[in-house]
């Protein structure tokens, strides 16, 4: 098929929080049209690529994306028309050169990413291949462990619950992706019943997890262990736990971690001790952003204490940026990196960041954003890059479950070739 790009058209749509975001259609000479939508984060790293917003207070409180849309329609499209969509690296390099900044501040990472993903999806369709196979080749057969954020805190719950932002379940003991999703949904509903029984709120946060008022950051872990057992599953054996404190959100300029829920201010060493106690007490397999993005000495202390025990994932500290990841590898501050497409702005750079981490024996943990769309690109990306695990919210809300549904479709399409990552997903052996 003729995969020459003949048209790129962008528009402003709404994300799962009701804020504007960018959607892009890519049309090819063969008649194929593919579409991609760009997510948006709430807890963002300081070194993330720029998400271009209009700043017009009269529209969406200044969060409109008409400028980014115009950049695609008026600036990017004319330069990419007549290029073969299968030339992904060349297209992304063109976008980077057109922007000319380190952080995508001119065109906007949201504009660039929308184009990058739409082009990739169109190229896959023109090649008559599913997206995961187009991106990953014939070896893309391993399904990831889904990490489901079933209790929300921090900024995702508007600071109404725990300080820690995400409490996730990881059904790594399942025999298949489909069974893992089933177990996750069962634990989610068991937690709902448990919260109702205890008279706690069952309102949900940005990512579909419940956001009850709790007295500590440990109480959600206690509730999750109870919910796993209530669902007839074994904590640690069938279903583990992952946490994302998003500690940059409660790190203060004075160098203290302010746990508002517990009325405590901890130094870095005390924060590491806090995590060690939690890891000893609960089946935690993964800790993301345990220390603040600017607290590299704290990260080194955390890695020294727990790096041989669990997977320590850097999100805000790395921002899916290969240059920063390389520095983190050199200084040995973690053992895994979170992968978010919109933190860096193009598919090619995202793949480079993932490969860099995995080449050095680090884990790569693919992630959604709190402001999502029904675009399921990251489901295919996770299988394509064989990262073994991803997080994309609770087994609730359409924009979250669409990723899990797509993974089940992929598993079905693979048939007997499908493999479920299970406990092998982690760079450190699961202890239970």
Q: Which segments are annotated as binding site for (2R)-2-phosphoglycerate? A: 165, 340, 369-370, 391
Give yes or no for residue 157 having a pLDDT over 70. no
- Fold annotation for 142-424: TIM Barrel (3.20.20)
* 270-273 long-range contacts, CB within 8 A, separation 24+: 271/247, 271/298, 271/302, 272/298, 272/301, 272/302, 272/305, 272/306
- pTM for this structure? 0.96
CA geometry: angle at 66 spanning 61 and 71, to 5°? 145
User: For the residues 98-107, what does the mean pLDDT come to?
Assistant: 96
Residue 134: DSSP 8-state: H
Cβ atoms of residues 148 and 55 within 8 Å: no
Q: Which segments are annotated as binding site? A: 156, 165-166, 244, 288, 315, 340, 367-370, 391
Catalytic residues: 207, 340
Six-digit token string for 145: 């462990």
Average predicted confidence (pLDDT) for the chain: 96
Boundaries of every domain in the chain = 4-128, 142-424
Give yes or no for residue 33 having a pLDDT over 60. yes
Express each pLDDT in 249-268 by its tens digit.
Answer: 999 988 999 999 999 999 99
Question: How sure is the predictor about 45, in pLDDT bands with cuts at 50, 70 and 90?
Answer: low
Architecture of domain 4-128: 2-Layer Sandwich (3.30)
Q: Which segments are annotated as binding site for Mg(2+)? A: 244, 288, 315
């Amino acid at each position: 098929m003729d995969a020459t790009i003949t048209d790129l058209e962008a528009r402003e749509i709404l994300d799962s929080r009701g804020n504007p975001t960018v959607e892009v259609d890519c049309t090819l000479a063969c008649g194929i049209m593919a579409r991609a939508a760009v997510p948006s984060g709430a807890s963002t790293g300081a070194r993330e690529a720029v998400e271009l917003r209009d700043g017009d207070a009269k529209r969406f409180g200044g969060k409109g994306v008409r400028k980014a849309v115009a950049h695609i329609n008026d600036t990017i499209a004319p330069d990419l028309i007549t290029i073969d969509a299968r030339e992904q690296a060349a297209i992304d390099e063109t976008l980077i050169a057109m922007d000319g900044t380190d952080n995508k501040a001119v065109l906007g990472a949201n504009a660039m990413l929308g184009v990058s993903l739409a082009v990739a999806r169109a190229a896959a369709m023109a090649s008559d291949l599913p997206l995961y196979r187009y991106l990953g080749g014939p070896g893309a057969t391993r399904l990831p462990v889904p990490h489901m954020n079933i209790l929300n805190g921090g900024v995702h719950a508007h600071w109404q619950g725990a300080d820690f932002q995400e409490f996730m379940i990881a059904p790594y003991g399942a025999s298949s992706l489909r069974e893992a999703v089933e177990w996750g949904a069962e634990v989610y509903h068991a937690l709902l019943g448990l919260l109702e029984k205890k008279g706690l709120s069952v309102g949900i946060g940005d990512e579909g997890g419940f956001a009850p008022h709790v007295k500590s950051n440990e109480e959600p872990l206690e509730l999750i262990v109870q919910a796993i057992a209530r669902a007839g599953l074994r904590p640690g054996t069938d279903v583990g736990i992952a946490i994302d404190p998003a500690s940059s959100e409660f790190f203060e300029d004075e160098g203290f971690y302010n746990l508002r829920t517990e009325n405590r201010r901890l130094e870095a060493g005390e924060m590491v001790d806090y995590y060690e106690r939690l890891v000893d007490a609960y089946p935690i397999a993964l800790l993301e952003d345990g220390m603040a993005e600017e607290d590299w000495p704290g990260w080194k202390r955390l890695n020294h204490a727990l790096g041989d025990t669990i997977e320590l994932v850097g999100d805000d500290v790395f921002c899916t940026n290969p240059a920063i990841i390389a520095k983190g590898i050199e200084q040995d501050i973690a053992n895994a990196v979170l992968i978010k497409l919109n933190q860096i702005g193009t598919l090619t750079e995202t793949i480079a960041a993932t490969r860099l981490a995995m080449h050095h024996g680090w884990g790569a943990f693919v992630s959604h954003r709190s402001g999502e769309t029904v675009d399921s690109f990251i489901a295919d990306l996770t299988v394509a890059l064989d990262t073994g695990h991803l997080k994309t919210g609770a087994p609730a809300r359409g924009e979250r479950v669409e990723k899990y549904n797509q993974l089940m479709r992929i598993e079905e399409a693979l048939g007997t070739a499908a493999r479920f990552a299970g406990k092998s997903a982690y760079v450190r052996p699961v202890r239970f």
